[in-house]
Amino acid sequence: MAEFIMLKNLAVLLLISFLGMQTAHAEEELPIYSGVGGNFSAVNQDGKTIEFNDFKGQPILLTFGYTNCADICPFTLGYLSRIYAGLTKDEQKKINVVFVTVDPEYDTPEHLKKFMAHFNSEFIGLSGTKPQIDNIVSLFQAKYKKLSAENMVPTKNIRQVTQKTLTDESNTQEDKSSLYSHTVTIYLIDKSGFTRSIEYTGTPQEEFVGKIRGLINE
């Protein structure tokens, strides 16, 4: 009788262990967000025309913003810098972090390159024509809106309140740049180009890094 009880308890423990493993596996497997994302063309911070499909084979972290954003964009890129730093050097080489501007008129490749370098020189900034940007925004079901003329502000004033002092020639000019409201989500895209997770800066670093590693190892 005692032997039977022991065997029964062992069977229960094995079942619990198996179910736990299955649950953990299910939690780690990310779904595919159908209809979110797709191929597009744009211009990178080096002035080179690229296709989104050029990034296939490596997971991508993609977000929208613009270089004259006073708070949200620097905060998001700072967060992504911390996520990136949480990966090993080898893992860092296996992903791409992409920042798509919603202000292509002001955000030339030159501006983007300087801006991205303040966070991580490995990050990729993308610009292009307004139709190109509108297409990318639409593909990812994102939104952006140029604010009214009353919100036009001197560029040099914005740059003084960003996360880091972004000193360049525009600090001495009175050129003006628009303000925008825009989607602030971070799209986690797999090696095949499918969106697998939509994150925010509130996602715990360890959790986000774990999802990235999962896609690297797929």
Q: Is the pLDDT of residue 61 over 90?
A: yes
Q: The domain spanning residue 107 has which CATH number?
A: 3.40.30.10
Tokens of 205: 């670093």
- DSSP SS3 for 218: coil
Domain annotation covers residue 7: no
Report the alpha-carbon distance of residue 90 to residue 84 in Å, rounded. Answer: 11
164-188 per-position pLDDT tens digit: 444 444 444 445 568 999 999 999 9
pLDDT band of 32, cuts 50, 70, 90: very high
Contact indicator for 101, 124 with CB cutoff of 8 Å: no
Place of tokens 């939690």: 27
Structurally, how many domains does the chain consist of?
A: 1
Note down the domain range covering 194: 41-216
What is the predicted pLDDT for the residue at 69? 92
Contact indicator for 54, 135 with CB cutoff of 8 Å: no
Nearby residues of 103 by Cβ (< 8 Å), 6 or more positions away: 66, 67, 68, 177, 178, 180
Q: What is the DSSP letter of 188?
A: E
pTM assigned to the model: 0.77
Domain annotation covers residue 120: yes
Domain annotation covers residue 176: yes
Report the alpha-carbon distance of residue 172 to residue 35 in Å, rounded. Answer: 44
Q: Is the pLDDT of residue 161 over 60?
A: no
Domain annotation covers residue 152: yes
Nearby residues of 154 by Cβ (< 8 Å), 6 or more positions away: 174, 175, 176
Q: Is the pLDDT of residue 14 over 80?
A: no
Domain annotation covers residue 90: yes
More confident: 69 or 175: 69
- For 116, other C-beta atoms within 10 Å of its C-beta total 20
What is the predicted pLDDT for the residue at 29? 86
101-146 per-position pLDDT tens digit: 999 999 999 999 999 999 999 999 999 999 999 999 999 999 999 9
Domain annotation covers residue 122: yes
Domain annotation covers residue 22: no
More confident: 148 or 29: 29
What is the predicted pLDDT for the residue at 178? 81
Domain annotation covers residue 205: yes
What is the predicted pLDDT for the residue at 47? 97
What is the predicted pLDDT for the residue at 77? 97
Contact indicator for 192, 208 with CB cutoff of 8 Å: no
Q: What is the 3-state secondary structure (H, E, C) of 133-171?
A: HHHHHHHCCCCEEECCHHHCEEHHHHHCCCCCCCCCHHH
Report the alpha-carbon distance of residue 200 to residue 186 in Å, rounded. Answer: 6
